[in-house]
Amino acid sequence: MKSSNLGYPRIGEKREWKKALEAYWSGKLEEEAFHAELKAIRLRNLKKQKEQGIDCIPVGDFSYYDHILDTATMFGIVPGRFGYEGGKPDLQTYYAMARGTREATACAMTKWFNTNYHYIVPELEDRQPQLTANRPLEAYREAKTELGIEGRPVIVGLYTFLKLSKGYTAEELESWIDRLLPLYGQVLRELETEGVEWVQIDEPILVTTLDQDEMKLVARIYDKLAKEAPGVKLLLQTYFEAVDYYKEVVALPVHGIGLDFVHDGGRNLKAVRELGFPSDKVLGAGLIDGRGVWRADLTEILETLNKLAEKVPADHIFVQPSCSLLHVPVSAAQEQGLEPTLREALAFAGEKLEEVALLAKGAHSGPDAIRSELDTSARSRQTLQQSPSRNRRQVHERMTELASQPSTRQGNVQTRREAHQKRWNLPLLPTTTIGSFPQTPEIRSSRQKWRKGEWSDAQYETFIQEQIKTWIGLQAELGLDVFVHGEFERNDMVEFFGEKLAGFAFTANGWVQSYGSRCVKPPIIYGDVEFTAPMTVTETVYAQSLTAAPVKGMLTGPVTILNWSFVRDDKSREEVAYQIALALRDEVEALEASGIGMIQVDEPAIREGLPLKREQGQQYLDWTVRAFRLCTSTVKDETQIHTHMCYSDFHNIIDSISALDADVISIETSRSHGELIESFEAYTYDKGIGLGVFDIHSPRVPQVEEIGLMIDRALRVLAPDQFWINPDCGLKTRKYEETIASLRNMVQATEQAREKYAVKA
């Protein structure tokens, strides 16, 4: 039995990767030095895995931005607007696709299955694919030459790559398979010639809802690949869920099948035990949670391994994480500031690989060989479970009364709309922003001084008020209609609230990659969640005191806080979401009582948590809608509830979005080039809506005419009196000059649109 890994965090223990990317983008790091820095990080990652005793180490999982973008550029799939003329794309083209340029909009970005990682969406269209560079081969050679590691190259599977791409019709799918198959075959042949033993082909699309015809296409792909390089052993790796077509998947002509035994709901284990496993294949047993941060119950997992060993010989099993460790922080060793009971219960990437190695040892030599580690694991989990943080009486009492908690607004949509118009008398096509303004180095530095005790609370509060006052003035000068206070006191939209609610903990270096160089430090929900004191009232009320224009109170919603946190594993996610919702309701009511009449409860992550199995989706949507409404339904009719969502495919969940019963919803649409507007062509939406008119993830400033076209397209299917004008998302990551220029153009485009559509209104 061998220990195996599927992927390692790219960012480094201290986010060296992020810092290198941003230094290169800003011109502070030359290209040659940039390559050298990333190589050093890459080799350190491999060396750590080797030192931890991992037998099968993945290579090629490291990226300069995103692994799907890597796959697209490896095959020359570069949109024409970037001026690509063939060959290996240079770094400028690579990053232009990810971030956009002044001349060309970036490729769309969306979530990686149901995780908080976002990938760059390939655009196939009329591209003529070619193998521009064999990335897996380059990674294999480097690991072997530099460190003596016989690595296992990783490549995104052909079917997964196509299903995550856009720019082709369903009828063209087979044609694209035929175009890419020779290139995948060439990659494998070159690896075979090099002497590579195993290649890991990631096909997570196989755990989603597919049909028989699709499985036939998958079989055709692997029949072909098996013949292309018969001397290479292929590990077909799935993760995030169970495979529905178990018999068909394990019958594919590959040498190993990787299955997730953590997030499969027990279905993969049941299939192996009831249907058996091919004697000529290796089972990649995903037994350590690659997405959570908790120590594993090693005793229970050893029992699962024993059950698998009844059907699969021990020497045909790879013990491994359930998925790539990209989704967890690098190491818990530095988290000495956490309360010991919690700290001892955590396992990040480094600790998870230790668990993988321990399990392989225990399965091989018996549990007594790792008895001390088994006892330590069990004791740490039990101590946390018995702690006061998981036994808060008031929270438990409130949850027992959940059925009687109000979750419906008093007035209907029209009654509320009339009350809002009477209160504010907003113009046609009201303009606003999503919440945050640029977090400058000065702001971040000031926050650090305050956290370190170098600044007093009074000093920091004065500084934040100065920022708020400046930006209230700028919003008035720009001519916006509904203001925000700017969120200068907030480091992260989830972390900020978690720091002020009971039941959350925060790490010093628990960073994970969200997209590109954007790293987040998710809170850890380890105990019962409870409201302790108002969190946003002071700054919002101060901002409102500076202007007669309405200022929105800004909160992060319960489902987003849930989905963007590491969540305790002893309760269902639904129950934790309700705890968060009830705590946030107290904050909503505090804002309203302080005179704030517009309250935005952002839920950008609802779509991210949608189950990968279609039949499980409605149940999830039902409880997420209920959580949002538990949070927002006790306000008066004249209080306007906003929400915001981004990078989501709304076509199949528009009913649930409407069921949130928010008065105004803003949705990303510019980066998807207006495609989301199609959702409203077949659905009559009766509430206020803002379809973002420019992409805040790109440094380019949109032109007035460009924004005008976005507005025109939206108003083909939406009534002018329900349409709001806003950016895609918050402006936290943008620079001052970009922000002002973009908002000025947005307001100018809105003024032109008001003249154009005033009669129709």
Q: Is the pLDDT of residue 682 over 80?
A: no
Nearest partner of 100 among 645, 708, 738, 730, judged by Cα:
738
- Mean per-residue pLDDT for 299-314? 95
Q: In Å, how far are 62, 161, 503, 684 from 8, measured between CA atoms?
A: 8, 20, 29, 45
| CATH among 3.20.20.210, 3.90.79.10, 1.10.290.10, 3.40.50.620 for 2-385 | 3.20.20.210
Q: Is the pLDDT of residue 647 over 70?
A: no
**Which residues, 6+ apart, have CB-to-CB distance to 52 below 8 Å?**
350, 353, 354, 357
Percentage of the chain modeled with pLDDT above 70: 98
Q: Write down the pLDDT at residue 680.
A: 72
- Rounded to the nearest 5 degrees, what angle is found at the Cα of 609, between the Cα atoms of 603 and 614? 125
Q: Name the helix (H) or strand (E) containing 39.
A: helix 31-51
Predicted confidence band of residue 696 (pLDDT cuts 50, 70, 90): confident
414-757, CATH topology level: TIM Barrel (3.20.20)
Question: In angstroms, rounded to a whole number, what is the distance separating the alpha carbons of residues 462 and 566?
Answer: 33
519 appears as a binding residue in the annotation: yes
Predicted confidence band of residue 648 (pLDDT cuts 50, 70, 90): low
Per-residue pLDDT reduced to its tens digit, 165-205:
999 999 999 999 999 999 999 999 999 999 999 999 999 99
Q: Is the pLDDT of residue 152 over 80?
A: yes
608 appears as a binding residue in the annotation: yes
Identity of the amino acid at 175? S
17 appears as a binding residue in the annotation: yes
Query: Could you check whether 2-385 and 414-757 share the same CATH topology?
Result: yes
Q: Where are the domains of the chain?
A: 2-385, 414-757
623 appears as a binding residue in the annotation: no
123 appears as a binding residue in the annotation: no
Predicted confidence band of residue 334 (pLDDT cuts 50, 70, 90): confident
Q: Write down the pLDDT at residue 685.
A: 84
- Mean per-residue pLDDT for 224-241? 97
Strand runs labelled E in 390-492 = none
Least confident of 480-489, 527-536, 557-566, 751-760: 751-760
Q: Write down the pLDDT at residue 761.
A: 45
Catalytic residue among 67, 485, 642, 697: 697
518 appears as a binding residue in the annotation: yes
- Rounded to the nearest 5 degrees, what angle is found at the Cα of 215, between the Cα atoms of 608 and 227? 120
Is 697 annotated in the active site?
A: yes
Predicted confidence band of residue 133 (pLDDT cuts 50, 70, 90): very high
* Rounded-to-10 torsion of CA 456, 458, 460, 462: -150
111 appears as a binding residue in the annotation: yes
Q: Write down the pLDDT at residue 164.
A: 98
16 appears as a binding residue in the annotation: yes
Least confident of 421-425, 597-601, 619-623, 698-702: 698-702
Mean pLDDT score of the chain, rounded to an integer?
Answer: 94
Per-residue pLDDT reduced to its tens digit, 469-485:
999 999 999 999 999 99
646 appears as a binding residue in the annotation: yes
Q: Write down the pLDDT at residue 677.
A: 67
Percentage of the chain modeled with pLDDT above 90: 87
